[in-house]
Amino acid sequence: MSYETPSQPAEPRQSDPAHQAALDSARLKAYLRLIPILFICYIIAYIDRNNVAIAKLTMEEDMPSFDAAVFGFGGGIFFLGYFLLEIPGSLIVERWSARKWICRIMITWGIMAAMTAFVKTPMHFYTVRFLLGVAEAGFFPGVIVYLSHWFTQKDRARAISYFLIASPVAMIIGPWVSQWFIDIGRTVVVDGQTITHPAVFGLKGWQWIYIIWGIPAVLFGIYVLIGLTDRPNQAKWLTPRERDALESELAREKALHQQRGHMSVMQALSSPKVLLLSAAYFGIVTANYGIELFLPSVFKEWYPNLEPSKIAQIVMIPSLLVIPGQLFIGWSSDRLQERRWHSVLPVVIGAVFLVLATQTKGTLWATILCFTVAAAGMKSYMPAFWALPSLFLTASAAAGSVGMINSVGNLGGFLGPFVMGKVQQTLQSYHYGLLFLAVTSTLSALLISFLPFRNTKDPQVHD
């Protein structure tokens, strides 16, 4: 399928009240129509990749061989599979169909997520996690590219921030729902009383956690075919005037990018700026997933008297600050039209509080506070960060670069959990693993600060 755009985009008609009104109406409709669908998709995706962190708390009881090192490798190998289709996936969205590609992704990842319930050995676990990564590959960069089809640079960081809020929401919803299932098939002591929860259909709680979150991915993947529209010129829910206004603005912005010089996909992938962003994202993702996949285990080690269901409640708390943090960074970045320092400062704050968290063992409220601020910093940078590539790249080049940044960066999703697991296995402590994550995120902030931008309002860049 191909799409036609005007070869000579119309000049902006900012003085035309009718045009501006149509544009504003189209922007609002795009927000209300598309963002909620993508938001729910990302919630499901994030839960399916991370619910292993909660399930691990009781998987170990049934499979003693699932120690921290096995879990760290299995949790991280997801990202090796994820790496394979990131760049092709984002290019497919640019050149073919976002809704069809996202539909395929969600159905296959839902099936693989549910299959995790039936693993018996570490090798089974590694295989299913790897295939889950392959299935989900291309979703995130595909959505970032898709948003560029609907939102101009002026609105893009805010649109991305609305989408990205799904990750902290998922980190609240996932543990909250999972706590009701995690004790199935277990005997627990509550207020001095021993309570036995029978298995359901012969399955334990950790198995049900995987199953109940795999099913919505399949169902919602089918709905995506109906709910999403690939391009504005296909949107029957926009009036002709609204379609014309939105398309003309997007075409005008595209023409301005092309006037600064065309860059092919291959040139973009070898661009120093893209490589710098890839390296920076690698370090941040290393920290993010090291924390996310092991945070329940950290609380279990530091506070051994806490029941798994209580830990599931506690690990929801850090995500509460991420939501306003991402909204604020997206709003402020768009308002000031500045991206770099809106990416750097939150990451630095997160790294500082991650170091402080290592000194709070034994004081529960302080541990929760430090991990909450650390999580907010490690996540809030994302709306500004993902608005950076489209500042200096044309559409196809930006699509390829987003895929590369995300795929290379997400290899950190393997490194972080792997190091955390190995450090805990070797030293019987998560302390130095957390310090390692703080170092990687700090180095990432430094790399972003080296980006050769003058500023965002004048998006000329220098190699």
In a domain, 83, yes or no: yes
In a domain, 94, yes or no: yes
Task: Determine how many CB atoms are found less than 10 A away from the CB of residue 368.
Answer: 17
CATH number of the domain where residue 349 is located: 1.20.1250.20
Residue 384 near residue 325, CB atoms below 8 Å: no
In a domain, 69, yes or no: yes
In a domain, 63, yes or no: yes
Tokens 């289709």 belong to: 85
In a domain, 272, yes or no: yes
Region of 3 (left: φ > 0; alpha: ψ -120 to 50; beta: rest) is beta
Q: Determine whether 88 is exposed, middle or buried from the number of CB atoms within 10 Å of its CB (0-12, 13-18, 19+).
A: middle
In a domain, 249, yes or no: yes
In a domain, 35, yes or no: yes
Please state the separation of Cα 105 from the chain's center in Å: 15
Separation between Cα atoms, residue 75 and residue 79, nearest integer Å: 8
pLDDT mean for each 10 residues of the chain (463 residues): 38 67 90 92 91 87 85 89 73 77 91 93 93 87 84 82 86 88 77 77 91 93 88 89 89 71 58 86 94 92 89 89 87 86 94 96 95 92 81 62 78 91 90 96 93 51 34
Q: What six digits make up the tokens of 171?
A: 């980190």
In a domain, 4, yes or no: no
Residue-range definition of the domain harbouring residue 106: 22-449
Roughly what angle, to the nearest 10 degrees, separates helices 412-427 and 272-302?
A: 30
Cβ-proximal residues to 72 (8 Å cutoff; 6+ apart), any chain: 293, 294, 417, 418, 419, 420, 421, 422, 424
Count the domains in the chain. Answer: 1
